[in-house]
Amino acid sequence: MNKVKVVVAGFRGRMGSEALRMIEKHDDLELVAGLDMDNAGQKVKDISGLPDFDATIYTDINQCLQDVQADVLIDLTTPEVGYLHTKTAIEYGVRPVVGTTGFTSEQLEELTDLAEERGVGAVIAPNFAIGAVLMMEFSKWAAKYFPDVEIIEKHHDQKLDAPSGTAVKTAELIKEERQSKQQGHPDEKETIPGARGADVDGMHIHSVRLPGLVAHQEVIFGGPGENLTIKHDSFHRESFMSGIKLSIDHVMKLDILVYGLENLLE
């Protein structure tokens, strides 16, 4: 069996370490390198608490992709680093599967163009949990009937970007269905700045950050005399792993960049 050779960037992090455990469970995947901030030259198995992989650790993506033969780069790092890693991987002809959130729309456009120009498959998904993808799709559908909507996303307090990539993607999907609309009272004023959250085309997004949370979102629709709430909770990072595996399987057959797991689901 030809195994898919995978590099995991951010392998020491909350998501990256879970991705290593996912790779360990799949016979068709092989970890060929780990990329993170330190321990260059050591082996992944030397780091306590991580699976027993013989793969070498790198801190520089160029060095890593020159040294190892890789098919796929999984990136689970930070917005700035994730963007650079994705761009570099495409330039080396290595297919990126990116969970890192916080990319700007300009960066997404640039990466999309680069992948197309080089004919390299790539997947960028703000949320790999199947339930979250369904929440976003159901929200898009509901927006057809309920144009008044507010998004509340709740995450652990170590998260760097706000609003979450999932909330931004949800708003983008709703925008495809809903006419631009300024919500609330036309004379509404914030007596404390930020009280009404972020404004995306008249929709409001509220970001909660607390210890104890993992990743949660409610999309609340309001109509005359009724409310509809569509809610998703990730209680464990294992929830994202089947989406990463699905993306690896698909990216091997792609020659363009796909943004959003919904575009890979049947």
Ligand X SMILES: O=C(O)C1=N[C@H](C(=O)O)C[C@H](O)C1
Ligand Y SMILES: NC(=O)C1=CN([C@@H]2O[C@H](COP(=O)(O)OP(=O)(O)OC[C@H]3O[C@@H](n4cnc5c(N)ncnc54)[C@H](O)[C@@H]3O)[C@@H](O)[C@H]2O)C=CC1
* Amino acid code (one letter) for 108: L
**Residue 155 interacts with which of ligand Y, ligand X, none, CB < 5 to 8 Å by class:** ligand X
Task: From the candidates 5, 26, 159, 175, give the one annotated as an active-site residue.
Answer: 159
**Residue 86 interacts with which of ligand X, ligand Y, none, CB < 5 to 8 Å by class:** none
Range 11-30, binding ligand X (CB under 6 A): none
Confirm if 123 and 98 have CB atoms less than 8 A apart: yes
- For residues 93 and 226, give the distance between their C-alpha atoms in angstroms, rounded to a whole number: 51
Nearest CA to 174 out of 124, 228, 122 is that of: 228
Phi, psi of 131 (to 5 degrees): -60, -35
Q: Six-digit token pair at 57?
A: 């650790």
Range 98-137, binding ligand X (CB under 6 A): 101, 126-127
- For residues 169 and 260, give the distance between their C-alpha atoms in angstroms, rounded to a whole number: 8
Q: Quote the least distance from Cβ 164 to ligand X, whole Å.
A: 3
Sign of the torsion angle spanned by Cα atoms 70, 74, 76, 79: positive
In this complex, which beta carbon is closest to ligand X, that of residue 116 or of residue 150? Answer: 150
Burial of 263 (0-12, 13-18, 19+ CB in 10 A): exposed
Task: From the candidates 155, 169, 216, 250, give the one annotated as an active-site residue.
Answer: 155
Range 195-224, binding ligand X (CB under 6 A): 215
In this complex, which beta carbon is closest to ligand Y, that of residue 96 or of residue 102? Answer: 102
Q: Does 244 bind ligand X (CB under 6 A)?
A: no
Residue 38 assigned as binding residue? yes
Of 30-38, 134-142, 164-172, 197-205, the window that binds ligand X (rule: CB under 6 A) is 164-172
Q: Does 139 bind ligand X (CB under 6 A)?
A: no
Which residue's Cβ has the minimum distance to ligand Y?
Answer: 13
**Residue 147 interacts with which of ligand X, ligand Y, none, CB < 5 to 8 Å by class:** none
Radius of gyration of the chain (CA): 20
Confirm if 124 and 98 have CB atoms less than 8 A apart: yes
**Residue 36 interacts with which of ligand Y, ligand X, none, CB < 5 to 8 Å by class:** ligand Y
Q: Quote the least distance from Cβ 119 to ligand Y, whole Å.
A: 24
User: Which strands, in side-by-side order, build the sheet including 148-155?
Assistant: 198-200, 203-209, 148-155, 215-223, 226-234
Rounded (10°) CA dihedral 11, 123, 113, 118: 80
- The three-class DSSP label of residue 73 is strand
Q: Does 89 bind ligand X (CB under 6 A)?
A: no
Catalytic, 216? Answer no
Among 56, 164, 170, 247, binds ligand X (CB under 6 A): 164
- CA-CA distances (angstroms) from residue 224 to 45, 144, 266? 58, 15, 34
Catalytic, 144? Answer no
Binding site for ligand X (CB under 6 A): 101, 126-127, 155, 159, 164-166, 215
Annotated binding site for NAD(+): 10-15, 38, 99-101, 125-128
Catalytic residue positions, numbered: 155, 159
